[in-house]
Structure 1
Amino acid sequence: MQRNHLLAILLMTLLVVGWMYFFMPPPPKKAPAPAATAPAGEAAPGLDAPLQTPAPAAAPVTDPDSPLAWLPPAAEDPGDPATDEITVADEGLELVFTRVGARLKRATVVLGKDGTDSAQLVPQSFAPSDAEAVYPLGLRFAGQFWGEELNRRRWDAAPMEDGRGVRFTLEAPGRARVVKWFRLSETSNTVRTGVEYLNLSDKPQLLGLDTREPAVSLTWGPDVASGDHAKGASQQFVTRVAGDNTYKPTAKLDPAKPVERVIAPEWVAVWSAYFAVAVKPEFEGGQGWIEGRPGAFSAGVGAPRTELGPGETAVWEYQVYIGPTARRALSSAWPSLPTVQRFFTSVTLMDQFAMLLLAVLNWCHDHVWANYGIAIILLTLLVRIAVFPLTYKSMLSMKRMQKLAPELEKLKQECGENQQEFQKRTMELYKERGVNPLGGCLPLILQMPVFFALYRMLWNAFELRRAPFMWIADLSEPDRLFSLPFSIPLPFSTLPLDSLNLLPILSAVAMFASQKLMPPSGPVQNPQQKMMMNLMPILFSVFMYNLASGLNLYILVSTMLGIAQNFVIQGANVNVEPVKKKPKASPRSRHFYTAAQAKKREMAKEVRREKEKQRGHGKKDS
């Protein structure tokens, strides 16, 4: 392999390592062990089940005319929390609500055959009671009104007859009645939600404080237990306003900063690699917001300031999406929701390219073979075909330089230690023989965006989650042929070496074979260069060892196709003879107009000579 080819691979590796270091989210920190133990059958909190912080205790009521005095006492512990639970389910969602706060206690996204791959997105709570727990889909009124106190009261519940919804009611006698209802939509993973406020008093009631505090907000907190925080896409708070999305990593939330508000959002969402929770208001003048810290935040959509006269009712409706980031699922909720998914949040062109690759991958899965391992192989073949013109040019350039290797070695011996003279004569030789020294390096660099786009897409695409292929149980995880009886740290990885991952090892073998099949195209390599060339496949294998098996499958297949291309190129005949200089064209042949004018002048001279000759003959006759 030529020197500039080696430099290109080193540059690619450095860029990938730099990308991993600077742009990948840091590994999530393990939460401290809770004092209480999890009930039997429930997983203890860990990386993907954030530990909840109990809600702050309610402030004592001192003013009998305060809105807080209207409310019944906070819910007492019933002993068995299951007595307060109501389950609503369909083929895509299983939602468990609690009467305490009329909130969502568990949200299971049903996935896989018989639900074997299902994911529970509500963080597990270890608070002493539901009244002290933080659950999603609670209500937050303006601070001068009720705040979040309704989340600590026990509501009356009336399940809908078809089992697809539930209606909760809480009444402050003589003051107000609040109704909150949830109903599974006909579209998958979507819940229609409504909040109704009825003024039962004989005086006007004001809800909200201009744009600083909404009248009432539908909230989601304290996190989304998506189980994908170790993936390449960091969790983001997404707002869509006027057709444009804005992304803010939840890892950058700072509780010391003011609440971040967005006026008139089309929807807001908490999005990560595999799952998204989105809230879309069905009314005008809404306000999106988020506050808190990573792993313990609260986000929501609030209703505008509202004043209600005696007996008047205000109604606010929402659509709530709770589900995977699969394109089909997002599209079924509402048209603009698929834009929540981004493989590159800062480089739009790269994101569009990665989306194109995902569309091709899904097409291969849906129309050729319903297996994502086969689809990755087909995608790799298509990518290889698409970049073949660049690859072919690169390999021809390497072959030309390979033919010049003996002459370069001779130049090296003649120049000795004078590297400057050697470089000068080398470039003169390249120019004489019509060889571009960057011809093999530049095409490889131009292919790097393809690698990066595939890297992010194959690692973060929901479609590969739990997708099997041959011995691989999950193409989004390392292939793990079998577990090892030990665990040691691994460079370039947040995961240890605790299993035998076959694909990166096979990729290293294929890369080593590719090097041996491609003879060197420059002077004889020194021992340091040879050692670096031999180490490159090993280093790359270590770097890729704990990454997604789908990505390693792409690299293995692409390397093997490259070996096949090498065999084809080796049979090609290239010419490195000195380039013949074209003779300079004569001035007469340089331009047609100039030649025509010259011919015209010659003809005129000939006519004049004939006339003069005729006049000469006439004088003699006279």
Structure 2
Amino acid sequence: MDRNSAIGLTLIAGLLLAYFYWFAPKPQEAPKVPAATEQRMAATDSSAVVVKGEPEASDSILTATYGDLSAAMKGTDATTTVETGDLRIEFANRGGIIRALELKKFKTYDQKPLLLVQPLSTAFNLSTQYQGREVDLYTLYYQPTQKKEGDTTVLTFTATLSNGASLAHVYKIPDAGHEIQYQVVSKGFDKLLGTDQLTFRWADAIRPLEKDLADTRKNTTVTYNSREEGFDELSAASTGTENEKLATALNWVAIKRKFFLSSIIAKEIPFAGGEVQTAFSAADSSLVKQANIQLTIPKKALADGKASFKFYFGPNDYQVIGKVTENFAENVYLGWRPVYWINKFVIFPVFHFLTLHIGNYGLIIIILVILLKLVLFPLSYRSYLSMAKMKVLKPELDEIKERVGEDMAKVQQEQMKLYGQVGVNPISGCVPVLLQMPILFAMFYLFPASIELRQQPFLWAEDLSTYDSVIQLGFAIPFGVGSHISLFTVIMTLSTLIYTWQNNQMSSVQGPMKSMSYVMPVIFFFFLNSFSAGLTFYYFVSNLVTFAQQAIIKRFVDEDKIRAIMEENKKKNAANGGTGKKSKFMSKLEDAMKAGEEARRKADEEKKKKKS
């Protein structure tokens, strides 16, 4: 590792350390969430989220209060279950709503059924004005009918009023997949409403599904897509209450867990606006976050037969969700540009291709490392060659420091002169390292976001999507380490230290800068100890392959030959009376150094004049 590479990597590590230390969200007081009220969503703790219906009343009181609607105010609770290859859905005849929904092909971390909707945690509300009163249409009693259309189950819940008007909730559930078509159908019912809109509310007390609660909270939020502004989301890293009022038309809103999505999507007429909120109490480990969604449905959509929607309850899988609706794939964060482009068009397609043909994800990671190292081999070769050149020049560079003394500007000028004489570009070793950095960061985003790694074991790791905890501590170490030690992170750190030591044998860097190169791997241990085991395993394998690459390259890099070429260049340039041909960059760098030295000299002269 030459001086420029060491400086570049030190700056990167410093920026990362500063970001995590200074800009991480500060803990806030536990949020106060409004208590549950009639026909309203809320949750104050880990207890059930409920939407209270109307109290029991006699038929005469109901008729006097609600008129024609009273016929649907009383009934007997019952459920209807529909089971497909991917979903098990339980519907309630009171409300005609989804009461429970299980993803059959997934389990929680402790191997229990994975429910995205459950009675004690999820509540739906569809409010409107009827005869001057706010009524929740999901508290009415509906009559269910079920039929089959090809490979789709059609389930209809109908409430008929005494005046002949009716309201129906129609669900179309295919035999496979995670999408559920949903339509609210009115036959004269819309004419009885005293407002021009309906309000859809969805409250979800999100329960833990994964091993790492802290990481789950950092990846749980509400996302949405505006027709005017596109994809956006509430801050997932917030430690308090996040709330956003949305005045623009919305295509969809989703409750995003780390690996799963629950979403409602407008098919024909968008939602007219709404409000989204997330909140959680850090002290309540039984709850990830509380998510509240409120959306406005125009009454015109109901009147025109266009109150059509679809639900998506399924994995947050990049290969799947891109086909659901516009911008839905944004729910998988693949990094900032250009890292996003590298992940989307290079890394992710290769990774997905390997998952289709290989069942062992540890082996997939090893193959991915080897493929990327082969592609990047020319850059690795140039970087190693640059380090070899700097190693050959080290005695002369040290001689310049001893001869010139403490005048660093003069030292740099003499070193640049030497580089020109022997035909060496000191930046050439830094450029290949910088070009490989986007790949490094692409993996940093890819593995934690890949549901393919979820609950996939390898060696001692039981789940490559989260950390492997071989040692549990009785206390928490700050700076992201947590209350455990990850073995993959430990061996990754040790291999990086060995790699650093190996490079330092070829480096001209001395003093504090050389010591700093050993500090950086330790810093990254703190950052990565609670990250995906798949990620740290990838970095470890990458180090091993790099060792092998350098051993192979070393066989083809003859330092004596490099020294002879440098001496020949020096003689040619001396005979020509110059310092050799310079690149535009080197010329500009020398000019900048001369200008800086001239400015410093003038400043010293001004100081002397003032003193005299």
* Equivalent in the alignment of 1:594: none
The reply to whether residue 135 of structure 1 matches residue 129 of structure 2 is: no
In the aligned structure 1, how far is the partner of 2:499 from the partner of 2:179?
Answer: 50
Identity of aligned residues (%): 21
**Corresponding residue number in structure 1 for 2:83:** 89
Cross-structure match for 1:350: 339
Q: Aligned equivalents of 2:132 and 2:454: distance in 1?
A: 45
The 1-side partners of 2:457 and 2:344 are apart by 22
- Aligned-partner Cα distance in 2 for 1:111–1:406: 64
SS in structure 1 at match of 2:333:
coil
- Paired residue secondary structure (1:489): strand
Alignment partner of 1:444 out of 416, 424, 433: 433
Distance 2:542 2:408 in 1: 37
* Greater mean alpha carbon deviation, residues 537-546 or residues 228-237: 228-237
Listed one character per residue, the Cα deviations across residues 490-524 of structure 1 (whole Å, up to 9, x for unaligned) are 33317322xx4221111122112212323444557
Q: What is the TM-score normalised by the length of structure 1?
A: 0.73
Alignment partner, residue 130 of structure 1: none
Deviates more, 1:298-307 or 1:410-419: 298-307
CA distance in 1, matches of 2:327, 2:460: 35
Q: Aligned letter for 1:106?
A: A
Looking at structure 1, the residues matched to 108 and 534 of structure 2 have their Cα atoms a distance apart, in angstroms, of 24
Structure 1: gaps spanning 5 or more residues:
36-44, 127-133, 585-622
Q: State the shift of 1:432 in Å.
A: 1.9
Change in CA separation of 1:560 and 1:184 when aligned onto 2, cut-off 3 Å: same
Find the partner of 2:353 among 356, 359, 363. Answer: 363
Cα offset, 1:147, TM superposition: 4.5
Q: Equivalent of 2:136, from 149, 159, 168? A: 149
Q: Which has the higher helix share?
A: 2
Which residue number corresponds to residue 529 of structure 2?
545
Residues 563/17 of structure 1: CA separation in 2 closer, same or farther (3 Å cut): same
Partner Cα distance (2:523, 2:566) in 1: 35
* Match of residue 169, structure 1, among 142, 146, 158: 158
2:320 pairs, out of 299, 312, 329, with 329
- Give the superposition deviation at 1:317: 2.8
Match status 1:3 vs 2:6: no
Change (3 A) 1:104 1:422: same
Residues 110 and 117, structure 1, Cα contact 8 Å, conserved in 2: no
Number of aligned positions between the proteins: 539
Deviation of residue 60 (structure 1)?
13
State whether residues 206 and 306 of structure 1, in contact with CA within 8 Å, keep that contact through their aligned partners in structure 2: no
Distance in 1 between the 2:62 and 2:400 partners?
96
1: CA distance, partners of 2:141 / 2:235: 31
- Deviations, residues 202-233 of structure 1 (Å, cap 9, x unaligned): xx445653xxxx3x355533365574672565
Q: 1:144 to 1:448 in 2, by over 3 A?
A: farther
Distance 1:68 1:465, change over 3 A: farther
C-alpha offsets along residues 177-205 of structure 1, whole Å, 9 cap, x if unaligned? 2211323224401112221222279xx44
**466, 471, 479: which is aligned to 1:492?**
479
Q: How does 1:231-242 map to 2 (within 5 A)?
A: 233=219, 235-239=221-225, 241=227
1:316 to 307, 322, 327: 307
Is the alpha carbon distance of 1:24 and 1:339 closer, same or farther for their aligned partners in structure 2, counting shifts above 3 Å? farther
Q: Contact 2:104–2:113 (CA<8 Å) still a contact in 1?
A: yes
Pairing of 1:243-392 with structure 2 (within 5 A):
245-249=230-234, 251=236, 259-263=245-249, 265-284=250-269, 286-287=271-272, 289-294=274-279, 295-299=289-293, 302-306=296-300, 314=305, 316-330=307-321, 334=324, 336=326, 339-344=329-334, 347-356=336-345, 357-367=347-357, 369-392=358-381
User: Residues 147, 314 of structure 1: CA spacing in aligned structure 2 closer, same or farther, 3 A cutoff?
Assistant: farther
1:104 partnered with 2:98: yes
Verify the 8 A CA contact 2:383 2:433 in the aligned structure 1: yes
By how many angstroms is 1:237 displaced?
1.5
Per-residue CA shift, 1:402-449, capped at 9, x if unaligned?
111111222222233333332222222222222222222232222222
What TM-score results when the alignment is normalised by the length of structure 2?
Answer: 0.75
Match of 2:166, SS state, is strand
| Equivalent runs, 1:69-88 vs 2, <5 Å | 70-71=69-70, 84-88=78-82
Cα deviation for residue 52 of structure 1 reads 5.3
Secondary structure, aligned partner of 2:467: coil
Whether the 8 Å contact between 2:6 and 2:513 is mirrored in structure 1 is: no
Q: For residue 343 of structure 1, what is the amino acid of its counterpart?
A: Y
Decide whether the 8 Å contact of 2:86 with 2:176 is kept in 1: no
Counterpart residue number, 2:544? 560
1:607 is matched with none
Matched, 1:532 2:516: yes
Structure-1 separation of matches of 2:231 and 2:301: 31
> Which amino acid in structure 2 is aligned with residue 135 of structure 1?
A
SS state at 1:287 partner? coil
2:215 corresponding residue in structure 1: 230
CA distance in 1, matches of 2:446, 2:135: 40
Q: Write the distance in 1 (CA, Å) between the matches of 2:108 and 2:223.
A: 32
**Greater Rg by CA:** 1
Residue equivalent to 1:515: 500
Change (3 A) 1:173 1:144: closer
- Equivalent residue runs for 1:390-539 within 5 Å: 390-480=379-469, 482-484=470-472, 486-493=473-480, 495-497=482-484, 500-523=485-508, 525-526=510-511, 528-539=512-523
Instruction: Rate the CA distance shift 1:470–1:145 in 2: closer, same or farther, 3 A.
Output: farther
Q: 2:26, 2:239 within 8 Å by CA — same for their partners in 1?
A: no
Distance 1:107 1:27 in 2: 34
Note closer, same or farther for the CA distance 1:10–1:323 as it changes in structure 2 (3 Å cut).
same
3-state SS of 1:475 partner: coil
Shift of 1:337: 6.6
Aligned residues of 1:239 and 1:269 also touching (Cα < 8 A): no
By how many angstroms is 1:529 displaced? 4.3
Q: How does 1:537-616 map to 2 (within 5 A)?
A: 537-571=521-555, 572-573=557-558, 574=562, 575-577=565-567, 578-579=569-570, 580-581=572-573
Aligned partners of 2:522 and 2:492: how far apart in 1? 9
Q: Secondary structure at the match of 1:135?
A: strand
Write the letter of the residue equivalent to 1:222: D
Shift of the 377–340 alpha-carbon distance from structure 1 to 2, 3 Å rule, reads: same
Q: Given that residues 72 and 159 in structure 2 are in contact (C-alpha distance below 8 angstroms), is that contact kept between their aligned partners in structure 1? A: no
Displacement after TM superposition at 1:455 (Å): 0.7
Tell me the CA shift for residue 389 of structure 1. Answer: 2.2
Q: Residues 503 and 258 of structure 1: is their aligned pair in 2 closer, same or farther, counting only changes over 3 Å?
A: closer
Residues of 1 paired with 2:91 and 2:22: CA distance?
Answer: 40
Is the contact made by 1:455 and 1:551 (CA closer than 8 Å) also made in structure 2?
yes
What residue identity is the alignment partner of 2:224? V
> 1:257, 1:74 → 2: CA distance?
34
